[in-house]
């Protein structure tokens, strides 16, 4: 039987190996904003897009080995209820698309970006939507279970909505963002935020609708925080006419 330390080393190596291919050139790995950016003269136009993996519904933290196992995002009724809760277009419009109407207009929500976000991808997005700014956001989701669950849960997160079978679990959502400045090909990194909630199958009988409501609330809180941070970092780069004190 392999020693625990050997198993841990192999697991860590496999995680690094699998995430390396996915994250190659991924701008979300950039920790700091680009330097030497030119001050922004408003108004500016904006496109908002969500970033998701190629073959999974979302980025699940600590489940990197499942990025290449295929995708099942629809429920029996059609569109994934998990996706309806986490990526509600109304919430996205009221938070990120309505970022700063006095300085940024027009603004619109574009199609999701699948896979790594590179400068070439953002150049194409800015050209496609004819926008000065592109705001891309990503959610990294950590699901903490009391007991082991089948890998299929991560291909079809709708299974999380039935707490009677999912059991006790906590959901932690990290919201990250990047602002791409089309003129100058520069990146502004938006500070991330984390929101979490617990879901139980004992003591409180949550219905799937109630679980969806809690996930939607987590999404709203995360995107509200991301919107405030993005607005600040954009405003910090605004061109200001300096007047003489005389």
| Domain-located, residue 28 | yes
Question: What is the pLDDT, as a whole number, of residue 163?
Answer: 80
| Domain-located, residue 42 | yes
Domain that holds residue 199: 4-236
| Domain-located, residue 243 | no
**Residue 31 dihedral angles phi and psi, to the nearest 5°:** -85, -25
Number of domains in the chain: 1
| Integer CA distances (angstroms), 90 to 49, 95, 112, 160, in order | 14, 9, 15, 23
Tell me the whole-structure pTM to 2 decimals. Answer: 0.83
Question: What is the pLDDT, as a whole number, of residue 68?
Answer: 44
| Domain-located, residue 113 | yes
| Domain-located, residue 207 | yes
Question: What is the pLDDT, as a whole number, of residue 203?
Answer: 60
Q: Which residues of the chain have pLDDT under 70?
A: 1-24, 63-78, 201-204, 241-246
What percent helix, strand, coil does the chain show, rounded to 5?
Answer: 40, 25, 35
Question: What is the pLDDT, as a whole number, of residue 16?
Answer: 41
Q: Residues 40, 231: contact at Cβ < 8 Å?
A: no
Question: What is the pLDDT, as a whole number, of residue 24?
Answer: 55
Question: What is the pLDDT, as a whole number, of residue 130?
Answer: 97
| Domain-located, residue 31 | yes
| Domain-located, residue 86 | yes
Question: What is the pLDDT, as a whole number, of residue 7?
Answer: 39
Question: What is the pLDDT, as a whole number, of residue 61?
Answer: 84
| Domain-located, residue 242 | no
């Amino acid at each position: 039987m392999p020693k625990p330390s050997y198993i841990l080393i192999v697991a860590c190596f496999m995680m690094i190996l699998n995430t390396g291919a996915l994250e190659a050139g991924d701008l979300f790995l950039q920790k700091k904003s680009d330097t030497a950016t030119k001050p922004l003269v408003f108004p500016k136009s904006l496109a908002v897009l969500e970033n998701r993996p190629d073959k999974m519904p979302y980025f699940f933290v600590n489940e990197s080995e499942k990025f290449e196992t295929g995708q099942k995002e629809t429920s029996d009724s059609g569109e994934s209820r998990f996706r309806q809760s986490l990526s509600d277009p109304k919430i996205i419009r009221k938070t990120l698309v309505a970022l700063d109407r006095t300085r940024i207009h027009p603004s619109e929500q574009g199609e999701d970006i699948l896979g790594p976000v590179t400068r070439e991808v953002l150049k194409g997005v800015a050209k496609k939507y004819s926008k000065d700014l592109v705001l891309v956001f990503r959610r990294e989701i950590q699901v903490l279970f009391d007991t082991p669950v089948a890998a299929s849960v991560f291909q079809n997160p709708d299974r999380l909505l039935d707490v009677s079978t999912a059991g006790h679990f906590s959901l932690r959502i990290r919201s990250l963002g990047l602002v791409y400045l089309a003129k100058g090909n520069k990146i502004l990194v938006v500070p991330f935020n984390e929101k979490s909630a617990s879901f139980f199958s004992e003591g409180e009988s949550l219905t799937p609708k109630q679980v969806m409501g809690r996930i939607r609330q987590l999404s709203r809180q995360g995107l509200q925080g991301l919107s405030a941070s993005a607005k600040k970092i954009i405003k910090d780069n605004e061109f200001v006419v300096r007047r003489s004190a005389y």
